[in-house]
Amino acid sequence: MITGSLIKKIRQEVGMTQQKLADLVGITQPHIAKIENEKVNPRLSTVNKILSVLKTNNRLRCEDIITKELIFVDPKNPINHVVKLMKKYDISQIPVVDKGKCVGSISEKTIVRNLDNISSQTKVKELMNEPFPIITCNEHLDIIKSLLEYHQAVIISEKGRLVGIVTKSDILSLLK
């Protein structure tokens, strides 16, 4: 059963003020206070709006966990440049970007697998894998999690520009 105290508990869990909830639902803050203190019986439509706002705000989006410093390489870069970046930034995969578009990816796994065939002349384009999936920054965590089951990372774009990356490590950092 939905009670005022349950609404208050959910609102506090998502870290939202009564005023913010009221603004998002389209009612006044005193009305929210009365609902939470069970001084009034709200309309079903009001309860549904409140729960919808609280549920939406409880879901993490890409923008909440994105790594905005997108480190990438060019397909013409030598593999030793990739290895230096991986060591420097403690990362295991890097997007391959050509003229602002993600055209592939390169990972430690791929480099190790091809170690016997790599020379100082070997270029990224010779070893790169398929590009990581690209989604917008307002997608929910559920989308990211499902993509990360099949890919090492997800690239985040905004208005056609690559703005960041989310990796499995970023998802694991949510566990505190």
Give phi and psi for 130, each to the nearest 5: -60, 155
pLDDT greater than 70 at residue 59: no
Stated pTM of the model: 0.66
Summarize pLDDT for 23-48 with one digit per residue, the tens.
989 999 999 999 999 999 888 888 88
Where along the chain do its domains lie? 4-58, 63-172
Class of domain 4-58: mainly alpha
Q: Do residues 76 and 99 touch, judged by C-beta distance below 8 A?
A: no
pLDDT greater than 70 at residue 146: yes
- What residue spans of the chain are helical by DSSP H? 4-13, 18-25, 29-36, 44-58, 62-65, 79-89, 108-113, 124-127, 141-148, 168-172
Check residue 174 and give its pLDDT: 67
Dihedral of CA 78/127/119/122: which sign? negative
Class of domain 63-172: alpha beta
Q: Which two tokens stand for residue 60?
A: 């993490």
C-alpha to C-alpha distances, 38 to 2, 31, 65, nearest whole angstrom: 11, 10, 36
Rounded to whole angstroms, how far apart are CA atoms 81 and 118? 13
Summarize pLDDT for 85-141 with one digit per residue, the tens.
999 999 999 999 999 899 999 999 999 999 999 998 999 999 999 999 999 887 877
